[in-house]
Structure 1
Amino acid sequence: MSLDTKRAEIRKLEERARQRAEALSKSEAMLEEDAVRFDAFLKENDEKVQEAIRRAEAEAKAKADRVAEIKRLNGAIAALRSELGKKEEALADCGRREGRAAGPGSYQGFLDSVTPQEHFEKLAAARQERRAARLAAWQAGCAAVARRRDDAYLAKTRAEAAFSGARTQQEAERAERAVKEAAAELKEALRAKEAPRPDLDALEAADDASDETMHFKNPRQLLAVFSQLEEDNLFLIQNCQEAEEQLEEVKARHRAAVAKADSEVDALKGQITRLEGRVAAAHARAERLRERATEGGSGAPRLALGVGAGEGPTLDELGSKVAEVYGRCGFDPDASLTMLQMLTSMEVRLQECLAQVEPMPAEWVADVERSREKERRQVAREEKLRTQTEDHEARVQRALERAAAPVFKKTGKPPMPRSALPKRRVVQERSARDEEEEELAAFLARELL
């Protein structure tokens, strides 16, 4: 009994152990399944998080793109609105009234500037005709109203006269009806008012707004005008370029002329300076010669020709000789001329003769010079012989005078001669003054011959 109980107890315990083992295995399986599901949940959650992050980044990028697109579209809308405003302004400028109000700077003003004047004259004539027609219609309406009133007054007056002159009952009734009708007509005529004077300016503005007053009906007309204006502008541009080129040439010539004139002025200034120096030197030399020519305190001034004071020709003799040569050169004698002026004239004549000789044949000139030189030598020889003859005659005359003179006898003790001094070598120093004196003596001697 106890064994069976124990066995039963063992079986129960085994059953309970088996059940617990099964429960434990089930629990482990459930735990494993829960772990797998939890891992799957975590993995799915991570994937969802990553997907959410990617979706958030994509949404942020899309938002930024949309914001940039919105900004771009807003800028484009602003630009389009600005362009639309400009187009509207241009369209307003192209209008007739707006264009005229805008002035010559608008497109309509440009069209008016290229429109022929005859078109505006026609428009002005048509406008004047419309004004005259409206004014005539208004005046006709006013005249019709006044005429209707006059007719009503006249009809009423006639009806009243007929009523007062009626003789029978029927005539009186007819006249009374006529008076009533005339009174009603007069009342209607008086009720009708004259039309107000029309506002011609407003009507003209309305006509200008409603009518087409533009001269250009076809775009080809405007293209033809543009072509003509382009040709005119090209012609004017060419003329302007040619004028500019001519101006540049004139400026270049002017600059060259100014440079040439400046160089010539500088050269002339240099020549003037040199000539002034020469003139000053000539004046100084003339002053020195004048001082040397007037040696001695009294008598006629004589030129010192290197042969001693008082032995050269006087200035009067030299002046008479210069005057003689001046007359032989073909000049008319003039007492008012000085010796220097006559010498200057002769020098000018000599330069003219030399200038005339230059183009002549050299051989012929040499032959003439040789013949002239022979003549000059012949004259010089004759003059020398005459001078020698005169000197010889003078010496002979002096010898005869000495022979005819009484003999002079010396009385008393003859003077003792001085002792001879040692001879010294004298070195002659030639100065500039001696050279000038020799040059002047040679020149005067040549002129005197």
Structure 2
Amino acid sequence: MPINPFRIPQFATIFELRDAELEEEAKERERKKNLKIFERSSCKNLTSRRKLLEDEEVVEESDQLDKLKVILQNIKGGGFRLFILLNFVGACIEDETHQEYISKRREMFFLEYSIAIQRAEIERLDELARREEKKLDLAEQCLEQDAALFDEFLKENDKTSVEAIAASVTADEGNSGQFKDAHVTFNLNQHFVTSDDSVTSKRRAEQEARKRSAMGDDIKRLNAQQLQITAEINRLTELVKDYKSYKTFLDRLAPEAYRNAVQRRREIKQLTKDRAKAEAKKLLISKSPTMSEYANYGSTVRRSSFVARRSSFKLSVVASPSPSKQVPMAVEEQESSSSDESDNEIYFSSPEQVLEILADLEEANLRLIRNCQDTQEGIESLKALSATTMERM
């Protein structure tokens, strides 16, 4: 019976446990005294692992079960151990670490995941192909139905024209031959006209279908061009971002005096820009007519002349922009160009200057690292000295 580790033992001290073990050993010795000699020894104590392995090599595969039965019948204590040795020796050939097991499981997971994704993609493509095939089948059916309806229409048209010709012939039998011939020719001409109309309608339908296919091809070509332009725009946008990051890096490498000067120039340009905008706004407000001026103008001039002048004023405004509007536009264009020029300014004129600054920074970093190492060594020496002084004290 296995011992429960969560149960309080019945022995209060280790000495009682030792006495109990001694009593059990004495009882076992007394029991073995009454046994015979061949019953006292066990396979567990006499048979070694090497002998069992040699016996396993000698015994053939056909006689292994019989030998195992005989050994289990004759040996009381070592049957389970023999079974383990015979069946599990050499089973664990390669040792596998925890990391190798995790890596193998990870590879298996990735492979299963990729297979699942590929299967899902294959299913999606199959479903898409099935849908497209259904659409094509429906389109073919619609075309066949349209062709059948068109043929029926032509047949009915021919039938009605023939019936009309026959009716006209029977109705005009008593008339003169000349009138009859003229009537017949007229009906025949009408029949040919209707047949010509059907042919022209068919040709027109074919032309419309060709136009639709050409328009579809043009739309596909334009979509492809649009995709190419979008990809080019994205590539150029990423390139501009990279160039801007390079420019910010170079601006940070520039001296502080140069950066301060550039910042001051930008602030001055911004102030001048704000002032120019304010002045242009004031000029626009001063040039624009007020409501009182419009009222005085309307009271002094007649209605017709007012309407004519107002229309001419609108036309002049639409034709050419006022100089008050041209002034802020010119100011904005000039200042935008100047701001672009100031933003594109770079302190470095050659790559050698950047390399020199980077070399100086590298030397400075090396000096700082050496100073840190020296200070660290000094701190460690001081710690050792303080420890020795504390031991001496």
TM-score (norm 2): 0.28
Relative to total residues, which structure has the larger helix share, 1 or 2? 2
TM-score (norm 1): 0.25
Who wins on radius of gyration, i.e. which is larger? 1
Structure with the larger RCO, 1 or 2 (CA within 8 Å, 6+ apart): 2
